[in-house]
A = this chain, B = another copy of it.
Amino acid sequence: LIHSVYIEMEQPTLSDNVSDADRTIRELRKKTGHEYFQCSLGCIQNLAYELREGMWKATFTLSRQSKDVWRILHVKHGDNTDNSYGLAVDIGTTTVVVQLINMKTGNVIGVEGNHNLQSRYGEDVISRMIYACGREKGLNTLHSAIVKNINDLIDTLTKEKGVNPRDIHALVAAGNTTMSHLFLNLIPCSIRLEPYVPTATIYPQISAKDIGIDIDPDAIIETVPSISSYVGGDIVAGILACGMADRPEIKVLIDIGTNGEIAVGNNEWLVCCSASAGPAFEGGGIRYGMRATRGAIEKIFIEDGHISYQTIGNAKPRGICGSGLIDCLYEMSRNKIIDGNGSLDSSKNKDGRVIEKDGEVQFILAYPDETENGQELVITQSDIDHLIRSKGAIFAAIKSLIDYVSLSFQDIDTFYVAGGFGSFLDIKKSIGIGLLPDINPEKIQFVGNSSLMGARIYLLSTHVAERAIQIARMTTNIELSNYQPFMDEYVAAMFLPHTDRKLFPSVDY
């Protein structure tokens, strides 16, 4: 989206006393071959000082404004082409992640994440919208919260890496449609209500100063376009990251975040939907659920009543993240600790791990002496029910979408699975609980945070930015909330692995 050009120019004389701006543009024409340039106000306000301070040697940061026109965002004396930075931002409903990128090399310099500060005003997008629309200044509160999230991460990252925030000249944000609206302070109130109309799906380019992001005030900020009210820029970014729209083979992308969004297609067509699966696989609504950070159980194995697990950072367990929850469900099912409906069977309580406490049946994953806080770490019956509803919704959405385009699972070339699972997702166990379809596991690729990856490649190429708009426009959105086949699939998928065992021939428990 931006690039830096270093120029050494002749100083003015009485016979060549054109303005600083004209001199600059004349030299930029020579150096870049582009014809038309515009100066940002901030750039032109600093121009006279920077040119003279650097003895007519300066670095200019350019962004393409339209096909022919380049915008001069920034000027700084001397050669600073090595010190031009950009940010890729994934605005998740639960977690916000910022990547700091060197714009010359494209290298990731650092990455930091934090908990979306909007969470105190509502767990999911629906409750955020209710907060934004139900009270005076509600929208502004949520907007300010996400700006603070990002500014906090920028502060941490730039201090950590010794980068001057004023050297950051571009930011690309990807998020679901509601997050994108809150980021830009757009009214999100019609997203929630039939007929589900967002204010915008293609978002305007703005300057950092417009919303108070603490980088170069004239830095450009782009928001990855959305497809519909419930399929957002995070999915468009994911489609970009996976190259789904680049080749004729049919591919599927499933993003298991706070919602489950699914896209199917190739370079000619794309369909998508959103499963409203809830944030269970991000740890939301699960008693000991947590994000994939230090102390989260990310792998579980159960054999003969003995449980072994692995935590992130090999710390004492603090909770369970998404990949741990998938393993947990699978291992409990395989060991018949739960039945096909997910009911904890207390008759299987060979080693006292199935207990009843606070009026609910629970399964002890880690005893007090193992955990960080010295309390037992459990998964409850309602956690299990919650996970089964989530995985059922996601599988039902995949199945409905594949049926909608009259394909079968065997027609899929690659299945990309994205989500905040940390570094690891057990494909076989994901199939084993009926979350993913029972196809050759080699066709399934775990891609991690594809929204962040997409934001990064968007940041590094104007071609990708144009492609993002094409993808947002070409993708057909299926509204599942009014789609009967989805309802039927959902009911059928509320079983481990599925009520129709023929769909999961490889599952052997």
Contacts and interface: CB of A to CB of B under 8 A. Distances in A.
A200 B66 contact: no
Interface in A168-215: 184-187, 189-190, 194-204, 206, 210
A179 B40 CA distance: 19
A504 to B, nearest CB: 34
A198 B18 CA distance: 8
B199 A47 contact: yes
Interface string A435-461: 000000000000000000000000000
Contacts of A347: none
Contacts of A186: 44-45, 47-48
A69 interface: yes
A35 interface: no
A198 B20 contact: yes
B66 A17 contact: no
A479 interface: yes
A134 to B, nearest CB: 15
A13 interface: yes
Contacts of A12: 190, 195, 197
Contact of A195 (B13, B40, B49, B210): B13
Contact of A17 (B13, B49, B187, B195): B195
Interface residues of A, number: 45
A408 interface: no
Interface in A32-72: 38-41, 44-45, 47-49, 52, 66, 69
Contacts of A14: 194-196, 479, 482
Contacts of A40: 204
B17 A196 contact: yes
A22 B473 CA distance: 10
Given A14-B479, A14-B482, A66-B66, A199 B41 contact: no
Nearest to A200: B21
Contacts of A48: 186-187, 189-190, 199
Nearest to A36: B66
A378 to B, nearest CB: 43
Nearest to A133: B48
A206 B20 contact: no
Contacts of A198: 19-20
Contact of A187 (B45, B195, B206): B45
Interface in A278-334: none
A66 B194 CA distance: 37
B66 A201 contact: no
A204 B19 contact: no
Nearest to A23: B197
A201 B25 CA distance: 12
B479 A201 contact: no
A247 B19 CA distance: 29
A412 to B, nearest CB: 29
A12 to B, nearest CB: 5
A49 B187 CA distance: 8
A200 B75 CA distance: 14
Most chain B CB inside 10 Å of its own CB: which residue of A22, A189, A194, A199: A199
7 contacts: A12-B195, A17-B228, A19-B199, A21-B199, A22-B202, A38-B204, A48-B187
Interface of A: 12-14, 16-22, 38-41, 44-45, 47-49, 52, 66, 69, 184-187, 189-190, 194-204, 206, 210, 228-229, 479, 482
Given A17-B197, A20-B198, A44-B199, 10 more contacts: A18-B197, A18-B201, A19-B201, A20-B190, A21-B199, A22-B201, A41-B204, A44-B204, A48-B186, A49-B187
